Structure 1
Amino acid sequence: MPAPQRERHPRPAGPVPALGQAEATLVEHYPRLVRLAYLILPPRLGRHRRVLAAHGVVQNALPARPGPIKKGRVPAPRGDRAPALGWIVRRVVGAALSYEHGAARWRRAVRPALPTVWGLRLSPRIGGADELALEQQLATVPAEVRAAFVLQHLEGYAPDAAAELLEAAGIPEPEAALSAAERLGPQDGTQAGLLLDSVEFDPCTVQARPTDLLRRRHWRRWGLTAALLVAVMLTVGQSAKDPASRDLTDRAAVAVAMVDPASLVRAPAAAWQSSSRIDFTVWPARGSLTGDRALLGRALRAWARPGPAVRVSAAPRTGTGPTSAAPQLLYAGRVDDADVVLLYDGERVVRYAETAGQPAELAFSRADNADVTTAAAVVLTRTESRIRFLFAPWVAETTTRDLLAPDSPARPLPVADDGVSDAVPRPGLTGPCSNWPALQLRSSERIAEKHAFLLTDLGGLSPVHLTYTPPPGSGAPARQPREATSAAALVSWSHTACTLRSTAGDGVRAVNNWVFAEQQLPEGAGQAEWLCSRADTWNGPGRATVRFQPPATTPREPGTLVADARDTSYCSRFNQHILAAAHWSAPSGTQYLLAAGSRAVTRIAVTGQVRADGSGTTLAVKAAAGQSAQLSGVLSTGRTLGAVH
């Protein structure tokens, strides 16, 4: 049954509404207004702070200086509130945008301080995979693009009305925001609206959980310490009215909390066995030095204030500043000739390492929204040729394999009781690519039965998750990425493993090989594959490379590179349509232009010096090298699709 069409609002215009009318309108439409603010607010605030900020934005949206109410005046009918609603929506959008475009001090000053919640953390209910994917995509675009997307698909604004509202809210180029919003979410507008209307984005239906109880106990201790520091500063003559003095007191209290080893959070050893959230939050503290307060104190002090004697490194777009609350201890122990501490603050994994005769090292990596695969292992030590991992407590079987030898079986990888692996070879990022080591792990049956997956090292703290999407099948639903442990997946990765070198150091989270088309070659030359490899980063942007893979190629031969697109949605769940072309020489020497599209392509046309037209997802036409050709395709929806470059 199709979803009902949403009513479109009139363009926001007109004078400031009367206070009584504005209040009644706000109360009547409160849930939708809070949802609107929540979706526009920066995801970097975190779910708890976004929930509170969204309620604060809406509750602060009443007119500041309403006009006087004349005696004997009859109030407007209750249902006649379109002008008032448009005015409030504009005010809510502007206030929510100010959280990201808050350089102006006056905007920060009017941000609401209420509501405030102590002792609880609030978050909307968790939605499905589509909602999570949309949330991650919205987190990668500016606030004005989120606002444009939400106004159209959730609130039902026409493009011109949305542009006028955005301009009134202070966006200098609303048309650019609307254009960028067109590339977000499902291409079906109804489906996009349903996702935005789900429980994932409902800050009025929330789950409440206590904040960390032990951490709150420590906060009481820190409060006493802060009070003592305030008393000391008062005795030396600093005035309590001096803003610099108050700021110093606050920073001193935070500094005391940051460097106290007793404040570290430690998860119970069996927490992962009964949790619905499988990530770093359920890692227990392991290692032989978890009780070494001196080592833990040095690690915390280095994080709070590294100093010149500490070498600091970070993945792209990863902050290196101190955490605002006590972090979680994942590991502390001696590995080879280094003392290593692993910490987690809810968004980052931090590795502190001390080696005799060398400067201490502090490395940061993004870890927000990690899952059973991307939180399955962390690098403890790495040399030029060897690497040791610490595995998650839910990893039941550890093996290694060479991706360039898909027919060779995986080899067992010994792991100590504390989760530390033996040293294994690491992929060579320079020189000849003769092998590509990878981890093949299996989750405990408490997590999932027969769940094996591949990880490989690309230089970050967390290894990269490798997946595979097989060629289109005969059924209607599109194929989804799956674990790259099947024979076909291993063969596919044997051709592309060496190309991973180009993504090293980019903060990559996962790479998927998608065989989006198969093509029978002219002159009976066999069947070729068209492959799109998509690398997704922890901070959002992705990279897609398209290759033509002829038959009977050996491992390490990646085929013909057709396109390399950066910061793109190509080959993701939000852009599942692709069209590509490549020149190919038949065994007879005849030159051909080959073209292929994804499963929804129904027709392909070539114009220019080479001309051809045919139905289906593939096309082959004779074409001499150097002849110009422009490619276009038609989707099953009737939309025209251009070729990727």
Structure 2
Amino acid sequence: MFTLPRRTRPVDHAEAHLVDQYTRLVSLAYLVLPASLSRHRRVLLAHGIAQRALPRTGRIRGTRHHERVPQQRGDTGGGQSVGDQLRERVLRAALDCERRPRGWPKRLPPPRTVLTWLPVVWGLRLFPRAGGAEELALGAKLAHVPAATRAAFVLRHLEGLADSKAGALLAAAGVADPRRALRASHRLDATAGASAETLLRSQEFDACSVQTRPTDLLRRRRRFGLLWAVTAVVAVLVVLATALGGDDTEPSAAALPTGAAGPDQLVRVGGDVWADTSRVDFTAWPPRGDRTRDEELLTRALATWAAPPQGTRIAKSPGTTAQAPTGAPQLLYAGEVDGQTVAVFHEGQRLVRYSERDGEAATLDFARADDSDVTTAAAVALTRGGNGTRYLLAPWIAEAERRDLLRPDTPARALEFGKDGITEPAAVPSPGGSCDAWPVLQLRSSDRIVEKHAFLVTDLGGLTPAHLSYTPLPGQGAPARQPREATSTNALTSWATTACRLDEFRDDGVRAVNVWDFAEQDLPERGGQAVWSCARATTWRGPGQVLLQFKARSAGPAPVVGRAAPTAACSRFGQHVLATAQWVAPSGARYLLAAGSRQVTSLKVSGAVDATVQGRTLARRIDSAEVRPKVRARLANGSTLKPVAGTGNIERADG
């Protein structure tokens, strides 16, 4: 019997295309979904969105609306291609998860995407494999921008679309201002650079190649067993409360000013959220300490914060306000440490530490904490005393050590800390001292978020220690080097001659300090080699200051030959730098030295000395220290560059 071949429907072509491009569509949805969701939830939701991108072919019951069926492959009509229409549907569904009606709970999707919220997996957690530091940095940046910006960034780099086509898809998916989203996505390019496509295709963002692990089995069993007991206790309490009539008012609650948040309103994050989110910062900290349920303590702390009584000692870092909380803060810690009662809160852009001791007035400390990350949210100083500082470490810190920056060859020593994350007392740098040591913490992140990631932090007087990083000398013909963790031998050696300069950044609200070795120079009269270095301290509020150093063979701190503040120099927004100094050779002859960063092609000296040299370094003999020649550098793009303001001469041949 002869049977006519079945006619292929357009929806069949759409299904074939969806199956063929399934991994890319899932990745697109995963990257656009709100970063506030856990990685487990985003993985499941991304798969649900991609699978529901296939349109229906019939009429939706109860409506007059017909689903649009993608055109067949090879259709050159004016309509969208199959791939574009599927991308549009995926984008629209993912973007809808961030468009919540006013008053709609933040942990639930908006009404029209409730079905997309399925499936649900009980007792099992799914999450992509952890990437490296670059992937974490990109993920953190994407987590802090609107969904439309993330979508534009992903369409340009993961899908390889031109701005015009990406803008058209964004508009079709319901983005109100596609041009603005595209402009914002271009600003993100500075984070990933040319490797954006490679990073987006890494295992960190691959929602189709996931790891699995069970939830806490014992905890789940205990909770199920305790459910009935808790229900019974609540019922008894309700009956008792009703019988008592509610005549008694809790005295501690009465201390809260009108409208202030109470202990029952504090945000409390689950213990494993940090391992299941792409936003690894203070928002992922669970509450720790032995008094997290002490309502009297928390009420006193919140009341003091909302309306500090007379005598309260208040300290705040530069650029931080001491105003009352505008909403419900997140509780990070509450407990007893070294005879003090301490409570630590996080409120959006601020950290707040409340401490009290018997017979003394309470103390409030405020510090900036916006845009923190896995390194700058790694520790909080709980107490400071004669024996050292106790830190509360982030839940993702698996190992802590201490080392001396002035002794790079000395191995790090273990720093003990308990299950609650509190360290034993650790030595801190002495302010204004002789600088015979500079203690730092070397912390290692858990393998659950990133493998083999160790980094350095140091106490500069703030609530959070500053992150230390290092940028090595430019490679021969290689792309610009990026800052990296200061744990390698070269990094520690470079930091050993810079550490004592950190005291100049104390109590200035410093978030991170990077040492960039930007040039190397052979000194005249066989004086050896010197390295020109820029130490940049970046504050939480944005502006930074730089110290330029001349590092020759000598013991002790390298001399400072230039400084500037506030400035963008020596950052990704100020990648070109020129420094000058006068140096005395072993023979007693005086030389003018100059060095520029990797984009410098030539140096010109005018005034008492007149010379032009090709390259990034210059050495010219001068008659006296009073000579002040004018030095300018020419960059590869044809522009000129002035040196950072100098600070004086280098009088010794040994640096």
Distance in 2 (CA, whole Å) between partners of 1:579 and 1:223 is: 66
Q: Secondary structure at the match of 2:191?
A: coil
1:29 Cα offset (Å)? 3.1
Distance in 1 (CA, whole Å) between partners of 2:286 and 2:70 is: 62
Aligned match of 2:247: none
1:441 Cα offset (Å)? 5.5
- 1:380 correspondence with 2:382: yes
Structure 2 counterpart of 1:194, from 198, 201, 212: 198
Farther-moved stretch of structure 1 (577-586 vs 145-154): 577-586
Q: Cα 1:62–1:459, aligned 2, differ >3 Å: closer, same or farther?
A: farther
Residues 550 and 561 in structure 2, CA contact (< 8 A), matched pair in contact too: yes
Residues 606 and 632 in structure 1, CA contact (< 8 A), matched pair in contact too: no
Residues 454 and 465 in structure 1, CA contact (< 8 A), matched pair in contact too: yes
Aligned match of 2:502: 497
- 1:488 correspondence with 2:484: no
- 1:306 correspondence with 2:302: yes
Farther-moved stretch of structure 1 (96-105 vs 160-169): 96-105
Deviation digits for residues 452-483 of structure 1 (CA, Å, limit 9, x no counterpart):
97542134444334344554578979695442
- 1:121 correspondence with 2:118: no
Deviation digits for residues 279-322 of structure 1 (CA, Å, limit 9, x no counterpart):
999x9999xx84xxxx4422697289923467799999999966
Distance in 1 (CA, whole Å) between partners of 2:128 and 2:497 is: 40
TM-score, scaled to structure 2: 0.62
Q: Secondary structure at the match of 1:531?
A: strand
Farther-moved stretch of structure 1 (309-318 vs 102-111): 309-318
Q: How does 1:18-417 map to 2 (within 5 A)?
A: 25-26=17-18, 28-58=20-50, 61=53, 77=72, 83-97=81-95, 108-112=110-114, 114-115=117-118, 117=120, 118-168=122-172, 169-171=175-177, 172-187=179-194, 191-213=195-217, 216=220, 217-218=222-223, 220=227, 290=290, 295-298=291-294, 302=298, 306-308=302-304, 332-335=335-338, 337-340=339-342, 353-357=355-359, 358-359=361-362, 370=374, 375=378, 378-382=380-384, 387-389=389-391, 398=402, 401=404
Q: Secondary structure at the match of 1:380?
A: strand
Aligned match of 1:582: 579
Farther-moved stretch of structure 1 (529-538 vs 117-126): 529-538
- 1:596 correspondence with 2:596: yes
Q: Cα 1:301–1:527, aligned 2, differ >3 Å: closer, same or farther?
A: same
Distance in 2 (CA, whole Å) between partners of 1:203 and 1:264 is: 23
Q: Secondary structure at the match of 2:85?
A: helix
Q: Cα 1:264–1:230, aligned 2, differ >3 Å: closer, same or farther?
A: same
Q: Cα 1:198–1:398, aligned 2, differ >3 Å: closer, same or farther?
A: closer
Q: Secondary structure at the match of 2:131?
A: coil
Residues 632 and 642 in structure 1, CA contact (< 8 A), matched pair in contact too: yes
Deviation digits for residues 226-269 of structure 1 (CA, Å, limit 9, x no counterpart):
7789999999xxxxxxxxxxxxxxxxxx9869799xx99699xx
Distance in 2 (CA, whole Å) between partners of 1:100 and 1:569 is: 33
Distance in 2 (CA, whole Å) between partners of 1:66 and 1:621 is: 83
1:381 Cα offset (Å)? 0.8
Distance in 2 (CA, whole Å) between partners of 1:227 and 1:643 is: 76
Distance in 1 (CA, whole Å) between partners of 2:234 and 2:620 is: 77
Q: Secondary structure at the match of 1:110?
A: helix
Q: Cα 1:62–1:532, aligned 2, differ >3 Å: closer, same or farther?
A: farther
Residues 632 and 642 in structure 2, CA contact (< 8 A), matched pair in contact too: no
1:185 Cα offset (Å)? 0.9
Distance in 2 (CA, whole Å) between partners of 1:102 and 1:395 is: 40
Q: Cα 1:304–1:459, aligned 2, differ >3 Å: closer, same or farther?
A: same
Aligned match of 2:550: 549
Counterpart residue identity of residue 531, structure 1: S
Q: Cα 1:314–1:38, aligned 2, differ >3 Å: closer, same or farther?
A: farther
Aligned match of 2:277: none
Q: Cα 1:228–1:214, aligned 2, differ >3 Å: closer, same or farther?
A: farther
Distance in 2 (CA, whole Å) between partners of 1:597 and 1:515 is: 9
- 1:633 correspondence with 2:636: yes
Counterpart residue identity of residue 439, structure 1: P
Counterpart residue identity of residue 489, structure 1: S
* Structure 2 runs not aligned, ≥5 long: 1-8, 244-261, 274-279, 309-313, 645-655
Q: Secondary structure at the match of 2:533?
A: strand
Residues 605 and 612 in structure 2, CA contact (< 8 A), matched pair in contact too: no
Distance in 2 (CA, whole Å) between partners of 1:334 and 1:92 is: 51
Deviation digits for residues 374-407 of structure 1 (CA, Å, limit 9, x no counterpart):
75x65231369963446899768656x5x6x669
Residues 61 and 88 in structure 1, CA contact (< 8 A), matched pair in contact too: yes
Aligned match of 1:238: none
Deviation digits for residues 61-118 of structure 1 (CA, Å, limit 9, x no counterpart):
566998899xxxx996467696232133234334544556768789944344512534
Q: Cα 1:170–1:344, aligned 2, differ >3 Å: closer, same or farther?
A: closer
Report how many aligned residue pairs link the two structures: 557
Q: Cα 1:380–1:184, aligned 2, differ >3 Å: closer, same or farther?
A: closer
1:170 Cα offset (Å)? 2.3
Q: Secondary structure at the match of 1:555?
A: coil
Aligned match of 1:533: 535
1:222 Cα offset (Å)? 6.3
Distance in 2 (CA, whole Å) between partners of 1:493 and 1:129 is: 25
Distance in 2 (CA, whole Å) between partners of 1:28 and 1:349 is: 48
1:36 Cα offset (Å)? 1.0
Identity within the alignment, %: 34
Q: Cα 1:43–1:417, aligned 2, differ >3 Å: closer, same or farther?
A: closer
Q: Secondary structure at the match of 1:34?
A: helix
TM-score, scaled to structure 1: 0.63
The higher radius of gyration belongs to 2
Counterpart residue identity of residue 170, structure 1: A
Residues 605 and 631 in structure 1, CA contact (< 8 A), matched pair in contact too: yes
Q: Secondary structure at the match of 1:560?
A: strand
Q: Secondary structure at the match of 1:339?
A: strand
Distance in 2 (CA, whole Å) between partners of 1:515 and 1:199 is: 32
Q: Cα 1:564–1:485, aligned 2, differ >3 Å: closer, same or farther?
A: farther
Counterpart residue identity of residue 121, structure 1: R
Q: Cα 1:177–1:359, aligned 2, differ >3 Å: closer, same or farther?
A: same
1:323 Cα offset (Å)? 8.1
Residues 120 and 209 in structure 1, CA contact (< 8 A), matched pair in contact too: yes
Q: Cα 1:391–1:229, aligned 2, differ >3 Å: closer, same or farther?
A: closer
Distance in 1 (CA, whole Å) between partners of 2:412 and 2:73 is: 73
Distance in 2 (CA, whole Å) between partners of 1:581 and 1:474 is: 19
Q: Cα 1:185–1:417, aligned 2, differ >3 Å: closer, same or farther?
A: closer
Residues 543 and 566 in structure 2, CA contact (< 8 A), matched pair in contact too: no
1:355 Cα offset (Å)? 1.8
1:370 Cα offset (Å)? 3.9
Distance in 1 (CA, whole Å) between partners of 2:532 and 2:358 is: 51
Counterpart residue identity of residue 25, structure 2: L
Counterpart residue identity of residue 36, structure 1: L
Q: Secondary structure at the match of 2:560?
A: coil
1:157 Cα offset (Å)? 0.6
Residues 509 and 539 in structure 2, CA contact (< 8 A), matched pair in contact too: no
1:154 Cα offset (Å)? 0.9
Q: Cα 1:299–1:534, aligned 2, differ >3 Å: closer, same or farther?
A: farther
1:544 Cα offset (Å)? 7.8
Counterpart residue identity of residue 209, structure 1: R
